[in-house]
A and B are shown apart, each in its own frame.
Chain A
Amino acid sequence: MFKGVAKSSPSRSSPSRGSPAKPSKSSTNELAVLISRMQTNADQVEKDILETQSRLKQDSSNHQKNKAFEFQTENARNLKEAETLLKDLFLDVDRAKRLRHPQAPEIEKDIQQLHDRVTQLCAEYRALYEQLNVPEVGPRVDWARILDQKMKQVNAGQYGPGMSELEKQIAEHNILQKEIEALVLNDPDFQHEDLNFLSRSQRYEQAIRKSSLMVMKLREYGIADPEEIYWFKRTCLGNYPEPLGLHFSMFHKTIETQTTAAQKEKWLPLVRGVKIIGTYAQTEMGHGTHLRGLETTATYDPSTQEFILNSPTVTSIKWWPGGLGKTSNHAIVLAQLYTQGQCKGLHAFIVPIRQLGTHEPLPGITVGDIGPKFGYDEMDNGYLKMDNFRIPRENMLMKYAQVEPDGTYVKPVSDKLTYGTMVFIRSLIVGDSARSLSRACTIAIRYSAVRHQSELKPGEPEPQILDYQTQQYKLFPLLATAYAFHFVGAYIKDTYHRISGDISTGDLTELPELHALTAGLKAFTSWTANAGIEECRMACGGHGYSRCSGIPDIYVTFTPSCTYEGENTVMMLQTARFLMKSYTQVTSGQQVTGMVSYLNDLSRQRIQPQHVAARTVTVRINDPSSLVEAYKSRAARLVESAAKNLQAELNHRRSKEDAWNRTSVDLVRASEAHCHYVIVKLFTAKLAEVGDAAVRAVLTELCLLYALFGISRNAGDFLQVSAFSRSPSLKAASLLANVLQMPGCMDVIPISSWL
């Protein structure tokens, strides 16, 4: 099969130039084994191809004569085998290359040819057997009729007097949501196959299939409202990512918010109609969270009115963007803009990367999949390298900054604006933390009610493991955490929508607080949920380790959120920067507002030292609002202590940066304490809004559990607060002792009603 390879031994024919080391004996042996294996595999592929060719021909004539297919199974098997063997062959030829086999490039060419022939046959196979049944596009569901009918029902009902009845009615108003769920659940195309048994390539293929179907069905069903689309997708995808996800989120959103009217007119129909598929390429191999460090360049050439894009180093290769590896044909690329010889910082460009129609990478573009990951098998995270790749001037997103035809750079109004999209995504992660943790808790708690183990009382049957104190101690605080995060997520979403309304109208006063809040809460909730999911998995013992328990997949899908969209430690330090700024304002006599307003008390306390002390002593262990005060004191103390340490470092050291770095562990703790306080506060505030007495009662228990668990986990901080205010440490000790009695308070939570 390989021309002349088998006859000449590699060591003899090895050319002496270029390769200084002569192959060792073991590598010669290895090569011999390798070559003979490749020979066998290639022969088999050749055989498969020839067989399939003739059988396809026969079946094709069967088809024309309206006869039944005869060889579909055999052909499928042969092609499958050929694909598998080809994969081995590609891996082997790599190995041969590394062992410096002189004819490796030729062999590779041969394999490539085999591969092309197999691909061709696969296409023929699909054309013959699997003519994709493209549904006739056009609304099939008569929404007007359904809505009319439902509205009549809802209108006919009486509005009840109490909050609980009202909530029920509000739920009834979510007609669309329910109908969409029903549509998906009854659609055979969206049946959940068992992903656990699929390989990575198969999972990608399934995900692409689903994505494509979703687009078509959205059209078919006439679903267009973003909220409805969101529900539709959630129901279709479950918790899994989709390769087209970035097209619909980041790509679409960026084009919508950062383009001029003319650009919108050109690009939006293409994006919305999925005429092109795009992704968002920001992160580089060597650069992540620190955006200013990105190395990709876009140099403006006024003579042709084009930008020339380059990835000048290995570290500058775009790395990780979802959907980039195999799916997208366009990308929004973030690059350092150079015009008239000057660097103007990061800007976004729309870059075509694959040929429409053939899907081949365009000349000057190197693009591919980054290989296997912990999770995210569905997603083709990719790499992108650009060599003198030219795009027209109009492909720069120019709503804010602009480059004029002659290369003149026009500055944007505010630098911060481009961060808006990131803030939005981070706020979504908070909600995702709540959802992922809830899923894990549901599985772990249900299983703990079913699993029996050991004996609590001699002679009695094995009890449910949920009856063990240690098991309750593992799971119930996490359940409470899931609820806490749920309310935080809702709060952030609302705040974002409120403030982002202001951003487009030009009022940016709340942006710093929003930024500080989403950064810290993103980090806090994703860290906690990450650890919590693992705790749930371990609480399920051996079976939790099986992929079939579902928790491993929740974990691997969730855990990268600690890193993406802003590495958590960096996020915490961003929050800390805001806290330090607020603290400085307070010490210089200004008032601060919003979630940090407790810092104002610090200056008051300096005038009346008893103030805080008095409050700490009166912490009531069963009153959430009293616990909020404890969290507030802790946050205030840690913020102040970090600020003082920072100041002390500044007094000793030369630079601000050095002092900041030497205080960063303290700063992260301060941020954590601040976020923790915000969460307890929001959870407590939510209680008052709940109408149904039974629901309020159980939520109050969960809120207490959440707050008390946090105190017991961070007992040192809370003990130091009381010492700080010079109250006798005995009081603090008794407070803690009460907290440790918690397991008793757990027993009252009617867990079953929450499943």
Chain B
Amino acid sequence: MALLEASKSWQGSAPGSVNPDLASERQTASFCVERLTALLDGGAEQTRIRRAVVDAIESDPVFSRENQYFQTQNERYEAAVRKAVHLQKKMHEMGWTENGPEYKYIYRALSGDVAFLLHRVFMRSISVLGSDKQIAKWIPLATQHKLIGSYAQTELGHGTYLQGLETTAVFDTATQEFILNTPKISAMKWWPGDMGRSATHTVVFAQLYIHGKCYGIHPFIVQIRSLQDHSLCPGITAGDIGPKMNFEHIDNGYLLLRNVRVPRENMLSKFCEVRPDGTYVRQGSQKINYFTMTTVRISLISDEVLTPLMKACTIAIRYSVVRRQSKLKPGEQEAKILDYQTQQEKLLPQLAAAYAFYFTNDYLQELFNRGYREIQRKNFDMLPELHALSSGFKAVITQHCTAGVEICLRACGGHGYSLLSGLPSLYTKILASCIYEGENTILLLQTARFLIKCFMAASAGQPVPPSVTYLAAVKHGKCPAKNKLDFLSPDIYIEAYQHVAVRLTSNTAAKLQDLIQSGVKKHDAWNQCTVQLVQAAKAHCHYIAVKNFAETVEKLETKAGIQKIMKHLCDLFALHGIFSNTGAFLHDGYTSAAQMDMVTASYLDLLAVIRKDAVPLVDAFDFTDKSLNSALGSYDGHVYQRLYEWAQRSPTNQMSPAYERYLKPLLHNTLSKL
């Protein structure tokens, strides 16, 4: 695909030819790029399907992102809506269905630049939280786009802590209606996507009151705009929340409710129901609710978090072999910047992380599928572990990848700062992922709560879930490495990571107990330990990521050089983690200062080894030029021509009244006075 792309390359920049600086990088690949692509896709057949979807979407001019960087917020929104509508047609035309194998590639092919994503969340919340009757009523309407849905949970003053929401729904037995209100400014719904201008309906989360008693947060379907002329319904105030760092194509909105009445049947009632006389009835298990959050957190990792990092790596690494700067040796040509150790040290660990988390995601998916099968059999035992892992990894991966994209951006020097590099948009988009679907610090504390609980249980000899059994097997001792090569052995570094995770968890658990025993109240004690708890949760996730990467490498095919290069990346990922957290490993003397110098030496050696395969490793991600949408990262490496041509298309070059209006009077006024 990427090769095809190059042949229909940008007009005017020597079609078909690849910049020799980039071409030479591809000749020395130590492994088969196509095989690695297939491995990442989960088989050659999947690769074929993905490429077909990408090709169908990219060859359709309606989905073009060509002028995206020049567009205003209004233009971006309009384009996204146009695309969303056109996508329905396209899917029908191509015979793609929501359950077909193509479906999951559509979003990637669109680079997320499409409206009505919340419509799907709207539908999912009805399917999960609604009664059979409600599903039968609403889902067909939504499927046929007779209405456009949104999902209104977050309020101006309240985010992750759901119980704090202030919107109210009071049941009126006389009319069999709920009366919804946002009683003060902080209760206003704020941020929901598709709500600012598009949605006709939304699921509103509100505190339920019956006969003056509060029953907590419940979901209600509320119509907010007329289905005839799209005007706001009585009692509704709604609009767009204005400019953001990114997501210009989405109309994130606000919503004020003033005595808005909805029928009793509009409360989603799979788990709780309000009877006509006002009796409140609970039914079924609410545990499944946690499962929904878990689903969302795991599903966002691939498209929203890994893809941006993989794209950023592709752009930065390709650019770094085209860009030349200063001389490494006197008399020679200026060197490719990727040949500088400092540049390698910025980019290659990000590349290793992209692969590491790609495999972590596979691990989570598998765990999730297993959990889902169990839940269908009404067995909820796996839920706490799934919840802890999905929360912790959502936080760790979003944080790591966001930092990684920023490193890539800054590693491209001045040109990285241009929107035309594609990097600023990748960055501003991915960094929202650190906040949505659960703020990262809070999620890490949830993982920590699970760790502490399991550690206590394990210490008392009780059984604990598989991912945390290591907490029970506390081993004291020292790192056995004797020379720098020992640190290329997974057993050595996995054990070091394990040691750190156990130490941080057990120390914090001990501190917590000490505080409580000395009379500090439980919640105060918890707050006093949170900084360390966050560290423990991170260490736990880091340990699992390293261990999983090593185990994945172990199982890979040995042919085509793939296992070898993946082993190098795994080593780099592990050693980079130690190199950048030396304190944690030196702290109790598990690793000695001399061993730390060995880690550094091995780590720096690896950079030089992986450097040789850097370009093939990003080629294997198989992003088309259109999906990268970057003047710096295209397959053919004609960086400067592209940058020059794109800049000339910028509307800022077409008209500027500023000279006539301001500069001329300034210059002339001055002239007359001189």
Contacts and interface: CB of A to CB of B under 8 A. Distances in A.
Interface string B144-159: 0000000000100111
Given A454-B442, A563-B410, A720-B582, 17 more contacts: A87-B655, A95-B66, A126-B660, A286-B640, A287-B325, A290-B334, A359-B663, A373-B417, A373-B424, A470-B531, A538-B440, A542-B159, A547-B243, A548-B243, A664-B342, A740-B532, A743-B531
B583 A715 contact: yes
CB-CB nearest 4 A-B residue pairs: A716-B582, A715-B583, A371-B650, A723-B593
Interface of B: 11, 59-61, 66-67, 69-70, 72, 154, 157-161, 163-164, 191, 241-245, 323-330, 334, 339-343, 345-346, 406, 410, 413-414, 416-420, 424, 428, 431-432, 434-436, 439-442, 445, 521, 523-524, 527-532, 534, 581-589, 592-593, 596, 600, 604, 640-641, 643-644, 646-667, 669-671, 673-674
Nearest to A462: B164
A98 B244 contact: no
8 contacts: A91-B70, A269-B674, A371-B418, A470-B441, A538-B431, A562-B410, A715-B586, A729-B589
A177 B67 CA distance: 46
A560 B432 contact: no
B587 A196 contact: no
B328 A453 contact: no
B666 A274 contact: yes
Contacts of B655: 83, 86-87, 115, 119, 201
Contact of B434 (A290, A319, A538): A538
Interface stretch (A209-217, A588-596, A598-606): A209-217
A370 B326 contact: no
B243 A372 contact: no
Contacts of A370: 418, 643, 647, 650
Interface in A176-214: 196-197, 199-201, 204-205, 208-209, 211-212
Contact of A288 (B414, B534, B583): B414
Interface string A697-740: 00000000000000010111111100110000100010010001
A166 interface: no
A564 interface: yes
Contacts of A666: 600
Contact of A733 (B329, B587, B592): B587
Q: How large is the interface on A (under 10, 10 to 19, 20 to 34, 35 or more residues)?
A: 35 or more
A613 B154 CA distance: 56
Given A356-B667, A462-B161, A469-B527, A372 B596 contact: no
Contact of A719 (B583, B647, B654): B583
A288 B523 CA distance: 54
A464 to B, nearest CB: 12
Nearest to A213: B662
A132 interface: yes
B341 A664 contact: yes
A158 interface: no
Interface of A: 26, 30, 33, 83, 86-87, 90-91, 94-95, 98, 115, 119, 122-123, 126, 130, 132, 134, 137, 196-197, 199-201, 204-205, 208-209, 211-212, 215-216, 269, 273-277, 283, 285-290, 293, 314-315, 317, 319-320, 325-327, 356, 359, 368-374, 380, 383, 451-458, 462, 467-470, 473, 534, 538, 541-542, 544-548, 552, 556, 559-560, 562-564, 567-570, 573, 655, 657-658, 661-666, 668, 712, 714-720, 723-724, 729, 733, 736, 740, 743
Contact of B534 (A115, A196, A470): A470
A716 B585 contact: yes
A288 B644 contact: no
B341 A273 contact: no
A137 B521 CA distance: 70
A68 to B, nearest CB: 23
Contacts of B600: 666
Nearest to B67: A91
A212 B243 contact: no
Given A197-B242, A370-B647, A661-B340, A736 B665 contact: no
Contacts of A119: 655
Contacts of A373: 417-419, 424
B242 A547 contact: yes
Contacts of A544: 435
A325 B242 contact: no
Contacts of B585: 716
B596 A716 contact: yes
Given A134-B669, A199-B72, A546-B244, A369 B652 contact: yes
Contacts of A547: 242-245
A132 B665 contact: yes
A290 to B, nearest CB: 4
Contacts of A276: 667
Nearest to B656: A326
Contacts of B339: 661
Nearest to A31: B61
Contacts of A289: 325-326, 413
B159 A91 contact: no
B562 to A, nearest CB: 28
A720 B596 contact: yes
A719 to B, nearest CB: 4
A211 B666 CA distance: 10
A548 B245 CA distance: 10
Contacts of B60: 26
Given A90-B654, A370-B650, A374-B424, A277 B667 contact: yes
Contacts of A326: 652, 656, 658-659
Contacts of A383: 644, 647
Contacts of A374: 417-419, 424
A184 to B, nearest CB: 18
A475 to B, nearest CB: 12
Nearest to A383: B647
Contacts of A91: 67, 70, 649, 651
A315 B21 CA distance: 15
Contacts of A315: 640
B670 A275 contact: yes
A90 B667 contact: no
Given A216-B669, A733-B588, A542 B191 contact: yes
Nearest to A540: B435
A371 B434 contact: no
B70 A320 contact: no
A541 B583 contact: no
A545 B342 contact: no
A545 B244 contact: yes
A137 B673 contact: yes
Contacts of B653: 325, 368-369, 371
Contacts of A205: 656-658, 661-662
Given A212-B663, A293-B326, A716-B596, A563 B417 contact: yes
Contact of A371 (B345, B640, B652): B652
Given A542-B159, A662-B341, A212 B325 contact: no
B323 A661 contact: no
A325 B652 contact: yes
A712 B378 CA distance: 47
A662 B346 CA distance: 14
A542 B243 contact: no
Contacts of B673: 137, 273
A661 B648 CA distance: 37
B582 A717 contact: yes
A542 B154 contact: yes
A568 B343 CA distance: 12
Contacts of B445: 470
A98 B649 CA distance: 12
B61 A33 contact: yes
Given A137-B673, A204-B652, A359 B436 contact: no
B514 to A, nearest CB: 13
A327 B659 CA distance: 7
Residue picked from B160, B643, B658, B667, most chain A C-beta under 10 Å: B658
Nearest to B593: A723
